[in-house]
A and B are shown apart, each in its own frame.
Chain A
């Protein structure tokens, strides 16, 4: 349970701060493409602000300024070993992560796992995947072309492309994608019925355990097979790592492709530039959409100061990547989509030692997939009005559930 701050000025003994007027997280979007205007207000007035968790009324520090978000995420005094959070039925607390669940680890424990994985995700290594990604994308576009229109861009393109890529990279059978996709989807939902997320993850873990046993018997040359061959990790650790990489490889790029295409259809001038191959398009779309916005919780391991606020050990912070990415201190005219913009130091992929491990793969997939899609179908358009597009409002990752398109 979060301790109330003695420095906040808020009485510590009055129970729920129902009349305090503190914002409640998550601060939901009113437009699928933009962080709530309320966040911009907070960023100006109180870039490190107290906010309230819906579950139990406990307080968190909501951080909205670009520089402050980067400081927080790079600061080893903030722990990533946080349990609870939005959409969960447990209050925030620091926990002992499961072996292998490295995104919840700090310091050397985290580095030990991350360093085993880094060689698989370097810029050079990722670039070598380009021809294969181009081939996967072309095949999906061929398949789309054969379908009667309208076609659901999410089901036929935005989800299959990253799903195929991550399955192949890990050495996981694509035929079993339904289970991977179900677990990934359950994990990012904020409104899952109690126990459903755990059940989906348990099913996936059980399934991965069998796949890993098969790899023990006959290791292949893909990522998990290589980790098996290295012989350092236990089966339990390999299950957790496989699960993390599968989920991360699915819900992120897929939502960027779906929501990104919808955004570009609303900005034909920008769409034309992406089709022509604007080199900074992937990063600008990442910055502008911030599809992972406000789920980055950290717990203060010791007393510290951030943005002039004294924060006590045991208190929790929540970094709003969306607010940070629209900070006027980051770039000129931050609320304007401009794919020709010089690359910004955006935080859409996080910051600090946990910054997205697969980011170079994500950039490459976005660049290849968007360009190819727009070149294949120059007349691409949404087949329904924007207000009928099924926007995801329940999820920790912003996106569209489906996007009927025609051309």
Chain B
């Protein structure tokens, strides 16, 4: 599947932080507010999945490596229920 996973978020609301060497720390998800749209999975499939059972978000990696920083930010930006936070 060629998921729609293109680098270089251009939308407002996706903070373009200076790239640091450190990984992304403190990714959290809120399964209570999650509406199962799957946008985080499209943006960062190594970090987020949808549960086969209930379709809600599953966090695969709360501290993803630095190269996934932009993808995680995009996941946060796309999430329609604002259920992804990055500390």
What residues of chain A have their CB less than 8 Å away from a CB belonging to chain B? 66-67, 70, 73-74, 111, 114-115, 118-125, 127, 130, 277, 279-280, 282-283, 327, 329-332, 341-345, 350-356, 359-360, 363, 367
Contact mask for chain B residues 43-71; partner A; CB cutoff 8 A; 1 contact, 0 none: 00000011111111000000000000000
Contacting pair A331 B11 (CB below 8 A): yes
Number of residues of chain B lying within 8 A (CB) of chain A: 35
A124 to B48 alpha-carbon distance, docked (Å): 12
Contacting pair A280 B6 (CB below 8 A): yes
Contacting pair A121 B55 (CB below 8 A): yes
Nearest CB of B to A327, in Å: 8
Query: In the complex, what residues of A have CB within 8 A of residue B11's CB?
Result: 66, 330-331, 344-345
Contacting pair A343 B55 (CB below 8 A): no
A327 to B10 alpha-carbon distance, docked (Å): 12
Contacting pair A282 B4 (CB below 8 A): yes
Contact partner, A342, options B10, B38, B56, Cβ 8 Å: B10
A343 to B8 alpha-carbon distance, docked (Å): 8
Name the 3 nearest CB pairs between A and B, nearest first.
A118-B36, A118-B55, A345-B11
Contacting pair B77 A345 (CB below 8 A): yes
A-B contact pairs, 22 of them (CB 8 A): A67-B12, A111-B35, A118-B56, A119-B54, A121-B36, A121-B38, A121-B55, A123-B41, A282-B4, A329-B12, A331-B10, A342-B8, A342-B10, A344-B11, A345-B14, A351-B80, A352-B35, A353-B33, A353-B35, A353-B81, A359-B37, A360-B42
Q: Which residue of B lies closest to A331 (CB)?
A: B10
Query: In the complex, what residues of B have CB within 8 A of residue A360's CB?
Result: 38, 42
Contacting pair B55 A122 (CB below 8 A): yes
A355 to B39 alpha-carbon distance, docked (Å): 10
Contact mask for chain B residues 12-52; partner A; CB cutoff 8 A; 1 contact, 0 none: 11100000000000000000010111100110000001111
Given contacts A279-B3, A353-B33, A353-B35, 7 further A-B contacts (CB under 8 A): A66-B12, A119-B54, A122-B38, A330-B11, A350-B80, A352-B80, A355-B37
- With contacts A342-B9, A352-B80 taken as known, whether A118 is within 8 angstroms of B54 at the C-beta atoms is yes
Say whether chain B's binding surface is mostly helix, strand, loop, or mixed: loop
User: Considering residues A329, A331, A341, A345, which has the most beta carbons from chain B within 10 angstroms of its beta carbon?
Assistant: A345
Query: In the complex, what residues of A have CB within 8 A of residue B2's CB?
Result: 277, 279, 367
Query: In the complex, what residues of A have CB within 8 A of residue B74's CB?
Result: 343
User: Considering residues B4, B9, B49, B78, which has the most beta carbons from chain A within 10 angstroms of its beta carbon?
Assistant: B4
A343 to B37 alpha-carbon distance, docked (Å): 16
- With contacts A118-B55, A122-B38, A122-B55 taken as known, whether A283 is within 8 angstroms of B80 at the C-beta atoms is no
Query: In the complex, what residues of B have CB within 8 A of residue A74's CB?
Result: 80-82
Contact partner, A119, options B3, B7, B55, Cβ 8 Å: B55
Query: In the complex, what residues of A have CB within 8 A of residue B12's CB?
Result: 66-67, 327, 329-330, 345
A136 to B55 alpha-carbon distance, docked (Å): 26
Nearest CB of A to B12, in Å: 4
A36 to B5 alpha-carbon distance, docked (Å): 30
Nearest CB of B to A273, in Å: 13
Contacting pair A363 B35 (CB below 8 A): no
Contacting pair A123 B52 (CB below 8 A): no
Contact partner, A343, options B6, B38, B50, B82, Cβ 8 Å: B6
Contacting pair A363 B4 (CB below 8 A): yes
